[in-house]
Chains A and B, each alone.
Chain A
Amino acid sequence: MITVTHRQNCTVMSFSGELNSVTAPEADAAIAAVCKEGCMALIFDFAALTYLSSAGLRSILIGAKNMRERGGRFAVANAGEKIQRVFQLSGLARHFASFASIDEAEASFTGEEPAR
């Protein structure tokens, strides 16, 4: 399930459950819709994401690419240990920044200190 939250300076898409070959098409559609609205700062919140496979990695990379091509900012936040391991094993972590919280991710977009 994906929830979209609009903050003052960014949009957060919170993914819960699994991002795999079954759920990736729905995720791709939701990401495309958010980008089509003109979002210029996007954070994927993975606090409730329990499983990620290469299909899910593809969704992340396509989101990152879409944002970059439009001059926008993109980051991932709250990825758990198993998810981070998939990022590292894939060697694709260099294509997106990953933060321990949404606040830190948002602060990275503006270069400010995260709110405390």
Chain B
Amino acid sequence: MYYSVCNQMEDLAELDRRIAAMPEFSALSGESRYALRLALEEMISNVIKYGYDDHAVHEIGVTLDFHGEAVRVRLTDDGRAFNPLTEAKKTRTAADLNGQDIGGLGVFLVRSLVENLKYRREADRNILEFTIGEASRK
């Protein structure tokens, strides 16, 4: 299923509520439910906060593909290029208590909690894909 979220924190909160209410979401394990909500919150809030230089409304695409205890996620946005696989590498040791590096911390948490994380840039869009709960299906 596909959702379009505007680049505002209120929209992210609304997306979170809608997903939490889905029966497919309830079919995930407790760990996977946590990982999905955290991954969406971290990655989308990073796009909202750091992805744009203008004050215009932008759409962030969220595609969720549930298969029993697993889910595949695709996030797309037209913000500045940001590859979470190569960015924010310093997070583990930086641990900046002023919070300046906390955007990177969110990315680091996501990388630790999801599987098959892939990024590509296509026609001025960031496309991020990952899965959650697939390892437990084996």
* Bound together: yes
How many interface contacts (CB-CB < 8 Å) are there between A and B? 56
Query: How far is the CB of A82 from the nearest CB of chain B, in Å?
Result: 5
Residue-wise interface mask of B (30-43) relative to A, using a CB-CB cutoff of 8 A (1 in contact, 0 not) = 11001001100110
Query: Dominant SS at the B interface?
Result: helix
Whether A51 pairs with B34 at a CB distance below 8 angstroms is yes
Most A Cβ at <10 Å: residue of B30, B38, B102, B106:
B102
Within 8 A of B (CB), among A32-89: 51, 53-55, 57-58, 61-62, 64-65, 82, 86, 89
Does A90 lie at the interface of the complex (its beta carbon under 8 Å from any beta carbon of B)?
yes
Does B25 lie at the interface of the complex (its beta carbon under 8 Å from any beta carbon of A)?
no
Residue total for A at the interface (Cβ-Cβ under 8 A): 20
Residue total for B at the interface (Cβ-Cβ under 8 A): 24
Whether B45 pairs with A90 at a CB distance below 8 angstroms is no
Query: How far is the CB of B132 from the nearest CB of chain A, in Å?
Result: 14
Neighbouring A residues of B105 by C-beta, 8 Å: 54, 57-58, 90, 92
Contact of A61 among B30, B99, B109 (CB under 8 A): B99
- The answer for the CA separation of A64 and B97 in the assembled complex, in Å, is 9
Does A16 lie at the interface of the complex (its beta carbon under 8 Å from any beta carbon of B)?
no
Neighbouring B residues of A95 by C-beta, 8 Å: 95, 97
Neighbouring A residues of B71 by C-beta, 8 Å: none
Contact of A86 among B12, B97, B98, B109 (CB under 8 A): B109
Neighbouring B residues of A91 by C-beta, 8 Å: 92, 95
- The answer for the CA separation of A61 and B30 in the assembled complex, in Å, is 26
Query: How far is the CB of B70 from the nearest CB of chain A, in Å?
Result: 19
Binding site for B on A (CB under 8 A): 20-22, 51, 53-55, 57-58, 61-62, 64-65, 82, 86, 89-92, 95
Query: What are 11 A-B interface contacts by the 8 Å CB criterion?
Result: A21-B41, A21-B45, A51-B34, A53-B41, A54-B105, A54-B109, A55-B106, A57-B102, A86-B109, A89-B112, A95-B95
